Structure 1
Amino acid sequence: MPTPDRTSLPEIVTAGIDLLEAAGLDKLTMQAVAERVGVRAPSLYKRVRSRDHLLALIAEQTLHDLTAKLDAATVRAGSDPRENLRAVARVFRAFARRRPNSYGLVFSQPMEVANPSEELLANSSRPVIDAVAALVGPADALEAARTVTAWATGFIFLELGGRFQLGGDVERAFDYGVDLLADALLASSSGHPVAR
């Protein structure tokens, strides 16, 4: 008779996320995850091929979690395209602040580590692309989404790293940047500067 399963793949991934957030990428080991789920390390290999496979699973779950939050934010924001972009940017930042190591795994590790499927990548990018498409139109949406994502990611990594040392209100600076981007995107689609 086969040995009963003592853990599941979702439990392993959740334990991996918890350990990643608590201790960082270097401390995320198969042994640590096994201890967290109450099995011996060799038992994990029934479900997870390697640490790299575990990291990929954590990255995938992180993208699923972030996408769900972005989708919920855009529904709440309604039809105002500027407010939609604000909502997406705020959720993106709040997620990174709540789960900085998972966010870093997805947005700063080489693609070999966190290499989501094309379908997952397209799905997780959709809320940002949709938000900017309402500002610039579908023809320029991908380029605009990349611009917004690059700016937000840079801001977030500087903030998480404690790099804003000159005082001032970082919340206000973030909102200012999002509004500036929204204005620029609107202006680029209409050919006219947008009055604020």
Structure 2
Amino acid sequence: MPTPERTSREAIVATGRELLERDGLTGLTMQAIADRVGVKAPSLYKRVRNRDELIRLIAEATVVDLGEHLRAAAAAPTDAAARVAAVALAFRAFAHRFPAGYHLIFASASSATRPSHDAILASSAPILEVAEALAGPAHALDAARTLTAWANGFISMELADAFQLGGDVDEAFVFGIRALTGALQLRDDVQAVG
């Protein structure tokens, strides 16, 4: 069995993310992590204070990972609408790949388990950038919130298997992206009216 000194915080968090996806939040225990990384449970407390800190670290790692996926998606297209679509599709793909982690970062949680403000801000940068390119600097935050709220609502319903009326959910997601993109492309004449 490895000694606690050979077990890094990064390995504990990576193992925690795997367990979260496999067993859900209730299965994410210090004992389960210790068993997977090959130490006794009390040894984990040399790297992680308690379960709340473990959950916070996992949520933060998930937020950082999501931000990296969004940054990569936003970098490819040059057209603002195409960048928004790429980011929204990457957002959805991430949620399907890591549904428990996705739920963890968007679920209401105590301040002890929430990712840091800096991590959230950094991961939000790609959404803010594409929203600004689409809606302009004055409306970037509003557009980013609208895009995020719509995508999260859609994805949350999808992951909960709540779309029961038939039809193609992939097409519906793309339709939503197109509709929102068109609505958020504010032109100077429209801005002057509002």
Kept after mapping to 1: 8 A contact 2:29/2:51? yes
1:179 maps onto 2:184 in alignment = no
- Are 1:17 and 2:17 matched, yes or no? yes
Q: Relative to 1, partners in 2 of residues 1:42 and 1:154: Cα closer, same or farther, differing over 3 Å?
A: same
After superposition, the C-alpha distances for 1:98-147 in whole angstroms (9 at most, x for unaligned) are 00000000011325254222222211111001111011111111111111
**Once superposed, what is the RMSD of the aligned Cα atoms?**
1.5
5 Å-filtered alignment, 1:140-155, equals: 140-155=139-154
Question: Where do 1:87-126 residues align within 5 Å?
Answer: 87-126=86-125
CA contact (8 A) 1:84 1:131 kept: yes
Provide the aligned length of Structure 1 versus Structure 2.
Answer: 189
Corresponding residue for 1:41?
A: 41
Distance (whole Å) between structure 1 residues aligned to residue 30 and residue 188 of structure 2: 50
- Structure-to-structure mapping, 1:48-87, within 5 angstroms: 48-77=48-77, 79-87=78-86
Contact 1:106-1:114 within 8 A present in 2 as well: no
Q: 1:86 to 1:44 in 2, by over 3 A?
A: same
**Is residue 24–residue 101 contact of structure 1 (8 Å, CA) maintained in 2?**
yes
Contact persistence 2:136–2:186 (CA under 8 A): no
1:55 alignment partner AA: I
Question: What are the Cα deviations for residues 70-119 of structure 1, in whole angstroms up to 9, with x where unaligned?
Answer: 11111112x10000000000000000000000000001132525422222
Gap runs ≥5 in structure 2: none
SS in structure 2 at match of 1:191: helix
Contact 2:52–2:112 under 8 Å retained in 1: yes
> Per the alignment, in what secondary structure is the counterpart of residue 55 of structure 1?
helix
- Inter-CA distance 167–189: structure 2 relative to 1 (3 Å threshold): farther
Q: Which moved more, 1:168-177 or 1:3-12?
A: 3-12
SS across alignment from 2:76: helix
**Structure 1: 5+ residue stretches without partners:** none
| Alpha-carbon distance between aligned partners in 1 of 2:37 and 2:103, rounded to the nearest angstrom | 24
Residue type of the alignment partner of 1:90: L
Evaluate the alpha carbon distance shift between residue 135 and residue 110 of structure 1 in structure 2; reply closer, same or farther with a 3 A threshold: same
Alpha-carbon offset, residue 149 of structure 1: 0.5
| Contact 1:137/1:189 (<8 A) preserved | no
Query: 1:156, 1:189 → 2: CA distance?
Result: 32
Distance 1:190 1:38, change over 3 A: farther
C-alpha contact 1:73 1:91 (8 A) present in aligned 2: yes
Contact 1:21 1:101 in 2 (8 A): yes
Q: Report the counterpart of residue 28 of structure 1 in structure 2.
A: 28
